[in-house]
Structure 1
Amino acid sequence: MNFNFLSPVSDLVLAHNELLSAQALGRKLKIHSAQQGIPDLDDVNIAIFGVLENRNDVNYIGEEFHLNEIRKSFYSLFPGSWNTTIADLGDINRGESVEDTYFALKEAISILIKKNIIPIILGGSQDLTHANYRAYDALIPMVNIVNVDAQFNLGDSTKPIKNNSFVGKIILEKPYNLFNYANIGYQTYFNSQEEIDLMDSLYFESYRLGQVSKDITIVEPVLRDANIVSIDLGCVKGSEVSLNQKSSPNGLDGKEICAIARYAGISNKVTSFGIYEYKPSKDDEMTAMLISQVLWYFIEGVNYRIKDDDFSDDRNYQKFICMVDDQELVFYKSNKTGRWWIEIPFLAEVNNKLKSHTLLPCMHQDYLDACNNMVPDRWYKAFQKNSV
């Protein structure tokens, strides 16, 4: 297994780790060190690594950064009652070109996913999500991306990729493997009306900050259906992070971003998770600790994953059928978890590439709406995407 592009965790961080309690998380990790090299990954379930690349940030001014403070904070936390083995593989340094960094990131993600290891990526500018997406080209036929961000990042896809336009590149570049793109926490005044209209016309999903803050549970189904979850730290309100990280007085608070991370963790489909747009500063403790807690909650979620979407055995679920206008809607409720899905039979009939999306995660409220003759929004958008 070739991980030559990964540099080890700093000796300063390792020295700090040695001073921690024997029960601390850092003492239980498999860590890539200069002395020991890359750890054996045979029993590893989750692998964390940094990507020290931010040259495609629209505000890039030539600064370099490291992730030492995040590691110190994360290592100092105590694990839950977990049964997963976690590795810290160090960092992917900047390549000679940004494309070299992208290539190394794609390789790392592809290798890990093929070994059934969930990669957690710490960036760097969020355009790295494009490389994360391209790592799936040879892994699965269609990909769902959830972007937790104040902006859609559609941008001008005719121009070189930047951290504010990478989604436009994902949508328009061949091969066309994107099935659904969803945004959680967008703020209308940060997005042009043209971008908002484009999201609607493509039948992508978006959840405004106010909606999410009012009821965080509305984002669970879309995270349950995601393969890739990408978080831009700019979605967090300025009062929750360090001075250099602040971008807006409004945004998700610490509890909300951690809840979203946990929903991503308990999703059986999420196979890569990234946190981007980290901007270290001298007063970095707050941001580093928030990122550490987001990581903690994602890993906590992974430890509580339950295989509840096997509908081959009717003892595992309850089936509900209701009519909305002339359309028969079929819902499934897991007996294990109480989570809901809605059937989309036409996807399997029309396009073999979409077979994995014939069951769409939804909420109990969607079933109640259907009983009141209202078509669930997620079902409608999936139907329209298939009809285009």
Structure 2
Amino acid sequence: MSPKKEKNDFVFPLEYLHTDALCENMPSCTALLVFAGSGNGVLKELKKLYRQSHVRIFYTEDLLHNRLPFVLEAAKKRNIPTIVLYGETTPETHAFLQGTPRVSLVSRGTETPDPMEAFLKDPCPEYLTWIGFQRYLTRPDISNLLTDKFMEILRLGEFRETPLRAEPLLREATHHFLDMRSVRHADLPDGICTSPNGLYAEEVCTLARYMGLSRRFHQAVIYGYPADSPQDSQAAQLVAQVIWHLTEGLAVAVDEHPQDNPEYFRRKAVQMGDDGQELIFFQSEKSGRWWMEVPNSKHPAEPIYISCSISEYAMACKGEIPMKWLYYYQKSNNFS
């Protein structure tokens, strides 16, 4: 008979780690939380939660942001997923985007300063997706530029109608930026945003979980909320719950891809008419997630695999070429 579990065995595990302790010999962990500003309220709310998966979370503080580059670089060298809590400050994106990042942004529109505008400056990330924005809060030139660059966007209304549409967009991203101002005022009354429209609290938690499930996850930055939110405040509680969902996603994430592990995927070919294009889909036997194959005219023997959902497969079965397939076919083959 196994020993009875104590209440504390299920409490969300948080261990303080001084920035100087980020070394090669540090224990492995699910994620490193970096409080780039005051975060006592969020920290206290996290300690009230119960874990569901086996997770181990370290947290550290960088109240003046002066050691943040060191912390991020040290975590990167040790392949530790990092979650940076930035408070009300909009992050300077260049401090986070090194190498060839694949970026996702959840925000309500084009704020000032606007991370999306910074992302679109050269060099623009090879992959950039925008979720939850509202058209009347968004500069048309920004959304049009994203479309011209064949970047995927998902409006708030589209996400609300089918939340699962966001998962494929976040699946391949390495860097995630989550603006808590995208949450409507009714769900975050002590936050910064006073807009009556926006994400529901449950929806922002769903997006956080999808971020954690990303097989390439490297970093998430959460900002746009009062850093000094006290314990028991709605802001501190919601940010803590967002972190909980994100780390739960990290704990159960499956690193899978049809190109790397074809034996774990079911290949499904759909003929588009008698003489039409054959569309190839792959479904994971582990997670049930979907990918589709897009031809690569530059390297015909090296097709491109795009994250998708069952809706694209269902559309193809009806004889319609999914817009996502056309989008990536144009992008990958330099059509405009």
TM-score of the aligned structures, taking structure 1 as reference length = 0.75
User: Using the alignment, how far apart are the partners of 1:120 and 1:149 within structure 2?
Assistant: 17
Matched, 1:47 2:32: yes
Q: CA deviation at 1:348?
A: 7.0
Give % identity.
24
What pairs up with 1:135-174 in 2 under 5 angstroms?
135=98, 137=99, 142-152=100-110, 163-164=113-114, 166-174=115-123
Unpaired segments ≥5 residues, structure 1: 1-20, 53-65, 96-103, 154-161
Q: Secondary structure at the match of 1:246?
A: coil
Q: CA deviation at 1:312?
A: 5.0
Per-residue CA distance 1:203-235 (angstroms, 9 max, x = gap): 211111111112211111111121111100110
Equivalent residue, structure 2, for 1:120: 83
Equivalent residue, structure 2, for 1:249: 196
Matched, 1:369 2:315: yes
User: Using the alignment, how far apart are the partners of 1:345 and 1:251 within structure 2?
Assistant: 37
Q: 1:378 to 1:113 in 2, by over 3 A?
A: farther
Please point out which of 55, 61, 69 is paired with 2:41: 69
Q: Secondary structure at the match of 2:286?
A: coil
Please point out which of 280, 304, 307 is paired with 2:252: 304
Equivalent residue, structure 1, for 2:288: 338
User: Using the alignment, how far apart are the partners of 2:102 and 2:166 within structure 1?
Assistant: 14
Is contact 1:130–1:167 with CA below 8 Å preserved after alignment?
A: no
Is contact 2:209–2:245 with CA below 8 Å preserved after alignment?
A: yes
Q: Secondary structure at the match of 1:206?
A: strand
Is contact 1:242–1:283 with CA below 8 Å preserved after alignment?
A: no
By relative contact order (CA 8 Å, sep 6+), the higher-ranking structure is 2
User: Using the alignment, how far apart are the partners of 1:323 and 1:92 within structure 2?
Assistant: 57
User: Using the alignment, how far apart are the partners of 2:142 and 2:122 within structure 1?
Assistant: 18
Q: CA deviation at 1:92?
A: 4.8
Letter in 2 for 1:79: R
Please point out which of 174, 184, 191 is paired with 1:227: 174
User: Using the alignment, how far apart are the partners of 2:59 and 2:208 within structure 1?
Assistant: 19
Equivalent residue, structure 1, for 2:3: none
User: Using the alignment, how far apart are the partners of 1:314 and 1:283 within structure 2?
Assistant: 49
Q: CA deviation at 1:281?
A: 5.8
What pairs up with 1:272-283 in 2 under 5 angstroms?
272-280=219-227
Per-residue CA distance 1:241-263 (angstroms, 9 max, x = gap): 14342331111111111111111
Equivalent residue, structure 2, for 1:57: none
Q: Secondary structure at the match of 1:245?
A: coil
Q: 1:310 to 1:92 in 2, by over 3 A?
A: farther
Q: 1:198 to 1:282 in 2, by over 3 A?
A: closer
Q: Secondary structure at the match of 2:287?
A: coil
Q: CA deviation at 1:24?
A: 6.3
Is contact 2:212–2:246 with CA below 8 Å preserved after alignment?
A: yes
Q: Secondary structure at the match of 2:47?
A: helix
User: Using the alignment, how far apart are the partners of 1:267 and 1:343 within structure 2?
Assistant: 19
Letter in 2 for 1:288: A
